[in-house]
Amino acid sequence: MSAPEFFDEGDLVGVLTTQPLGRTLDYKAPEGGCHPGAFVEVPLGPRKVLGVVWGPGQGDFDYARVRSVIRVLDVAPMRAEMQTFLTRAADYTLTPLPAMLRLATRAPGLGDPPSMRKIYRRGMGTPDRATKARTQVLETLREYGDLSFTLKELAEMAGVTSSVIKGLVKQGVVHEEDSPRDLPFPRLDPDLPGKVLTEDQARGAAQLADAVRSGQYGTTLLRGVTGSGKTEVYLEAVAAALRAGRQALVLLPEIALTEQFLSRVQERFGTKPAEWHSGATMTERRRIWRMVGQGQAQLVIGARSALFLPYQNLGLIVVDEEHDTSYKQEDGVLYNARDMAVLRAAICDAQVVLASATPSLESWANAEAGKYRKLELTSRYGAAVMPKMGAIDMRAEGLPSDRWVSATLKKEVDQRLAKGEQAMLFINRRGYAPITLCRACGHQIGCDDCDARMVEHRFLKRLVCHQCGETKPMPTACPACDAEDRLAPVGPGVERLGEEARALWPDARIAVLSSDMYGSARALKAEIAGIADGSADIIIGTQLVAKGHNFPNLTLVGVIDADLGLMGSDLRAAERTFQLMRQVAGRAGRAEAPGAALLQTYQPEHAVIRAILAGDEEAFWAAEARERKQAGVPPYGRMAGIILSGPDVAQVFDAGNLLARQDAPLRQIGAQVFGPAPAPIARVRGRHRVRLLVKADKLVPLQDALARWVAQVKLKGELRLAVDIDPQSF
Ligand code: ADP
Ligand code: ZN
């Protein structure tokens, strides 16, 4: 039976809401009827909630008692392909469909009345007669310059009734117009002359453009060292999509979404694209949501949630820095935006480009297996060459325990400064010191809410838990033994490294970049743009400087602790370290001046460090692939994490142990269960978390068995269960 094209008034429709209630509820279509996919407001008990007309109703209840849809919202109905996407994504991640729907209805204001809002600002005319109320309106408008207000806002701010404002509109003193949230985006022009591509780049661009023109699904892994022109190449794929009249989406890790990047897009297409990110205003989000739905926003640049916008005709998804761990959402719905991009594209016959200098092992393996096309840019653009890599053997440096810059590294930095070039010192640790130790009793200050240590942040003058975000003022006395003034910082963080650098180079301009030191993403981006223009001699930063920024005058990167990521038991540690080090090193020498990267390490003979130094990616991946194959872990086996959490640790473990014993559904498919063990984050905000890991052969249908298995847990009281398909750490 094919789905109906329209529901007439009184027809039974099945509405999916974002409330956690299983699947759909039956309602009667409202006066005027509705389309399948329509966004509607429905009664639910005493409340009104947002929902989507998912299909025909079930008809399980007495028709007379079924309630009616209250109203249909004035937005385009959800397309069938979006419904398919949400359903499959929910199935894949074992997320309840309503939670998935929430990701697609997050644009605020979806529930607003459909009537268009008007906004008001200063007009050209002068009032025929100056009353006190009128003067107040004019003064308010003068005070706020060019800003526009809704009628209610303006009336409230000026302290007048709306009829005063309406009167001024008639005289042209106040200008009334439609809210800009629905102002169209300027057209992008794919036919502007782009940069002249190198032969290598042009070949890649043509290949991607062909793929986009095919109008079929396909994924390409675009590999190339930092600075090889991947961005230039995929922008040509975007151009091809625009020429074909299809929409394009470029996903970036949030922090890489910079003005610098947007200007490049503007340069190529003549105007800025729609920008979807966490800092966007409500009004802007709603405007983008609508414009994307009308097919009017041709190109969206966004963070991972941009995948859930209501594209009308999506032809291309680029996932830049596809290996980036921030694509995995670790809160709420656990999904990996890279994998969801591939799913989305397959449903709407679009192309995917996964771009990276250091792809994830998953994508590398998919390309090796022929599931993804491979496209490689082998050299850096122009004169720029890959930086020379070297190790500094810290065992030979004899540094005191409260210093981190070796004499060798200091000398190298000196040389760059003398030439007027920039140097970067990289350490992947926020704050001042990772440990605060009491010298009297040996106590280390920990978080009250979870098991992590508190990290001292001098900049904020507080202790911060990097796990749960809890903060408290830095105490003067030890919380364990009350000794005064015996608390000492142990180990380096980015702030402490900054202090050391200021002592070593008192005359240099030093910028310390860490996400927590800026009030907003915008302030941070402004600082980064300033640095690119030469406002600092030495840049000291955490992971965030490793991502996608272009510092043309930077010629040396010193990695303070290359061993840091190799500690711990995470099986992905080697991959992470390899990627991060390559990426950081890639910051150096992007323009004409050749670059170098120096790794301070206590284990220069470690296989990962050696592979990084040799720059031999293929060798590294081949070795890493062998190990993972042997262990039967992703991408050569499938894994899922089951996290049980609750306030009572015994109850959580009991539930975990019981589940581990009831493993019949898993044994049927040959999957194994490990645990329960304390989860990687064992306690968050007072809740204890245990994890069971499930390992299965790559080809078995894991989700079905998992769903049947976890359904056996009785979620009593505060006990919660979350399924994490393809966990990041295992
Ligand atoms: P990637 O994305 O691989 O790191 P980019 O596309 O950012 O590389 O290119 C690195 C730098 O080189 C950028 O400043 C870019 O504008 C420049 N560039 C790359 N290719 C060209 C080209 N064909 N013509 C002019 N400039 C180029
Ligand atoms: Zn904590």
The alpha carbon of 516 and the centre of ligand 2 are apart by a number of angstroms equal to 16
Q: How many CB atoms sit inside 10 A of residue 442's CB?
A: 10
Select the more confidently predicted residue: 518 or 605: 605
pLDDT in tens, 651-682: 889 889 989 998 889 898 888 888 888 887 77
Q: How far apart are CA 176 and CA 257, in angstroms?
A: 34
**pLDDT digit string, tens, across residues 611-631:** 888 877 888 888 888 888 888
Beta bridge partners of 620: none
Of all atoms in ligand 1, which is nearest to the CA of residue 548? 4
Strand order in the sheet with 12-17: 25-28, 12-17, 47-56, 39-44, 71-72
φ and ψ at 559, to 5 degrees? -95, 115
Which residue is it, tokens 């502007």?
192
Q: For residue 448, give the ligand nearest its CA.
A: 2
Q: Cα separations (Å) of 460 from 357, 466, 509, 517, 694?
A: 35, 14, 21, 8, 41
CA 586 to ligand 1: nearest atom:
4
pLDDT value at 466 more than 80: no
Report how far ligand 1's centroid is from the alpha carbon of 266 (Å). 15
CB 557 within 8 A of CB 586: no
Query: What percent of the chain has pLDDT above 70?
Result: 91
Q: Judge whether 681 and 690 are in contact, CB under 8 Å.
A: no
Taking Cα atoms as reference points, which of 387, 428, 427, 370 lies closest to residue 225? 387
407-454 pLDDT, tens digit per residue, is 999 999 999 999 999 999 988 888 898 889 999 999 999 888 777 788
Atom of ligand 1 nearest to the CA of 198: 23
Residue 649 reports pLDDT greater than 70: yes
Cβ atoms of 681 and 689 within 8 Å: the answer is yes
Distance CA 590, CA 25 (A): 57
Confidence (pLDDT) at 385: 66
Phi, psi of 253 (to 5 degrees): -60, 140
Contact present, 490 and 435 (Cβ < 8 Å): yes
The CB of 359 under 6 Å from ligand 1? The reply is no
655 phi and psi angles, rounded to 5 deg: -60, -40
In this predicted structure, the answer to whether residue 114 has a pLDDT above a threshold of 50 is no
**Six token digits for residue 379:** 């050299």
53 or 588, which is more confident: 53
Residue 441 annotated as part of some ligand binding site: yes
Question: From atom 10 of ligand 1, which residue's Cα is the shortest distance away?
Answer: 227
Kind and range of the H or E run holding 708: helix 702-710
DSSP 199: H
Cα 650 to averaged position of ligand 2 atoms, centre (Å): 20
Give yes or no for residue 113 having a pLDDT over 50.
no
Task: Give the residue, out of 232, 376, 587, with the most ligand 1 atoms within 8 A of its beta carbon, to mutate for a pocket test.
Answer: 232
CA angle 440, 445, 447 (to 5 degrees): 160
Going from the Cα of 426 to the center of ligand 1, the distance in angstroms, rounded, reads 24
Highest mean pLDDT, choosing among 163-167, 243-247, 634-638: 243-247
Q: Which residue has the higher pLDDT, 478 or 572?
A: 478
pLDDT value at residue 188: 92
For ligand 1, whether the C-beta of 230 sits within 6 Å is yes
Per the structure block, which two tokens stand in for 721? 């269960």
Using one digit for the tens of pLDDT, what is the confidence trace for 717-730?
888 888 888 887 76
Tokens 């989860």 found at: 679
pTM assigned to the model: 0.78
Q: Tell how far the Cα of 471 is from the centroid of ligand 2, in angstroms.
A: 8
Which residues are within 8 A (CB) of 192 and not within 5 positions of it... i.e. 6 or more apart? 268, 269, 270
For residues 243 and 190, is the Cβ–Cβ distance under 8 A? Answer: yes
Tell which atom from ligand 1 comes closest to the C-alpha of 550. Answer: 14
For residue 379, the ligand closest to its alpha carbon is 1
Can you tell me which atom of ligand 1 is nearest the CA of 196?
23
Alpha carbons 146 and 366: distance in angstroms, whole number? 52
Measured between alpha carbons, how far is 134 from 106 in angstroms, rounded to an integer?
39
Look over the chain and give the mean of its residue pLDDT values, rounded to a whole number. 86
